[in-house]
Structure 1
């Protein structure tokens, strides 16, 4: 059964989405599943494809192009939920939860893409809770209203916290994503669902999204039900990518929850997996999560590996620069030959999380370009922007990087 077509107007905010750092790439050529199958009518059938509009544009050479944007971890700590509670009260809905104001700062950039992907790190509770944070998350499903309001089309769900609430948590999370009209990949309610590639149709161009995690924080999947959540296993990933191609995917995007927390450089496993996976003709782009710190973007021929985007939204018990910084990756895919798409431009959009007076996600370049940004905030944002740029470049990812739409002193000369 297919998911109804998305009704959101794509490219609504294209003109405002200018605060990006440009990396130019040359074109080279059950109820719960543990109780068995759910009763009829209680779960959606696998829905492999969502249709988005309006679809690809064309470049100066009349080649079709599309833009994909991806973001870091949506990590719903209790403090994030409390901010949503305050925002709901401020908006005239006491007792409710409103996550949209937290995401509003990045909505122009996110909504301006043809396809926007998030990473939902935490399982979701019932709407009335109970809610919990680290180490065993059970987050409000209302967060998806914020995710959707920002313009995201779908999320990866494979993380070290996927099994925090067991199979029931996996089912609740997927139900909530379905109810919100968001695509999902990385966890499943059945073997059939797990084996059905997640495809997004962007104006006739089909993009597959796959997702896997390096571990589940010591928790194990039930024997015989490994399909509940995806674990990194390169041969299995490559087989899944090949199945996605066979299912008609023009582009295959792989999200990996990997790495060492709070390290800005990829560890040995990341580097090994990256080389093995990106070299496959069935994988076009790798997007990394988990470290809660920004990690480099690295180019492999005409492909890219984004090792780590840090946090999109979070509020750790001990806020530090690393866990307040993030980056969104915006890849322009071009059809360089009939049916063959490659990334011809990679842009990075640094982000920062303000903690006071309200918890807010900040598009740093947009804030720096805004003349009404207060001087003290501007200083903080500039330093954070420069740090993020350094992390992105740490492995030499295109040293001819040209920041676009940011203050002159940060431009390459």
Structure 2
């Protein structure tokens, strides 16, 4: 992780105050120490828009962003103020200005509180108008690359829904978006190249413990994309990689390790379902 010029995570849940009280499914408030661990692992930026963004109310949303700031992890998708909601998230990655936008298909328990609609970027998938506007603001503010993180649509299905595909294609059709990363399914979904640009529909879980219910929720994949500046000055993906991983739950420990042969083959099969390997995706051992 630390070797990456930019490492992006998705933070699904709001954090509780130090010492708790903590809550699990279905309405989360998790240990704030997680964010120090993310920083220590090498993450530079996290998307925060998910169906759980307001599980701990507006206070939990603001607390989460405060703790991310303290850990020096950039973020996008949720906002403490209306002014903050229209300020582009742009970070330096190896001397390149990278913008990031994020949105979620829905919120648990309905939308944001009245008068605070700006607090979470909710996309009425396949309509991603708000995310496209944010990407345009990032580009206008000087971003040389813009990455979009989309939290949607159907859990525990290895194949994206029609609405999910339409939303991803709408994002990639914009001149302001260069790459789409997806999550929410809690299982791995395919990569796809669309008109020369890449999307990873669903990366599975990273550090998580789930009741599997027969689904491969302990399969995961780390996405790696290499951007290169072309002769005309625009950056494009010149190498797309996927590293299959597996989550191992045992006793008090939850760890992530390179996928064993069975997990690797299962993940590789899913990743290739939409023509990604033929388009040049490298599926590599961790």
TM-score normalized by structure 2?
Answer: 0.94
Q: Does 1:142 align with 2:36?
A: no
- Aligned to 1:209, which of 93, 100, 114? 100
Matched, 1:155 2:46: yes
Name 1:229's counterpart in structure 2: 120
State the secondary structure of the residue aligned to 2:66: helix
1:348 to 242, 246, 249: 242
**Alignment partner of 1:171 is 2:62:** yes
In structure 2, the partner of 1:297 is 191
Q: Deviations over 1:91-130 (max 9, x none)?
A: xxxxxxxxxxxxxxxxxxx111100000000000011100
C-alpha RMSD over aligned residues: 1.5
Structure 1 or 2: more helix by fraction: 1
Give the match's secondary structure for 1:354. strand
Considering Cα pairs closer than 8 Å and 6+ residues apart, tell me whether 1 or 2 has the greater RCO: 1
For residue 355 of structure 1, give the secondary structure of its aligned residue in structure 2: strand
2:84 is matched with 193
SS at match of 1:359: strand
The secondary structure found in structure 1 opposite 2:230 is: strand
Name the residue aligned to 2:266: 387
Report Cα offsets for 1:24-77 as digits up to 9, x if no partner: xxxxxxxxxxxxxxxxxxxxxxxxxxxxxxxxxxxxxxxxxxxxxxxxxxxxxx
- 1:397 equivalent to 2:276? Answer yes
Alignment correspondent of 1:325? 219
Q: Which has the larger radius of gyration?
A: 1
Provide, for residues 144-197 of structure 1, a one-character-per-residue CA deviation record: whole Å limited to 9, x for no partner.
Answer: 122112111111000000010110110110011011111111101001111101
Change (3 A) 1:401 1:201: closer
| TM-fit CA distance, 1:235 | 1.9
> Is 1:309 aligned to 2:203, yes or no?
yes
Deviation at 1:202, TM superposition (A): 2.1
**Structure 1 CA distance for aligned equivalents of residues 72 and 135 of structure 2:** 24
Q: Which residue of 2 aligns with 1:126?
A: 17
Secondary structure of 1:275's aligned partner: helix
* Secondary structure of residue in 2 paired with 1:322: coil
CA deviation after TM superposition for structure 1 residue 337, in Å: 2.6
Question: Could you list the runs of 5+ residues in structure 2 that have no partner in the other structure?
Answer: none
CA distance, structure 1, for counterparts of residue 282 and residue 67 of structure 2: 40
Contact 2:268 2:283 in 1 (8 A): no
Distance 1:402 1:316, change over 3 A: closer
Provide the secondary structure at the position in 1 that maps to 2:59. Answer: helix
**Equivalents in 2 of 1:310, 1:254: separation in Å?**
17
How high is the TM-score relative to the length of structure 1? 0.66
Aligned match of 2:6? 115
- Tell me the equivalent position of 1:55: none
1:34-183 superposed matches below 5 A: 110-183=1-74
Q: Distance in 2 between matches of 1:184 and 1:319?
A: 32
Residue 224 of structure 1, CA deviation: 2.2
When residues 322 and 141 of structure 1 are mapped into structure 2, their CA distance, relative to the original with a 3 A threshold, is: same
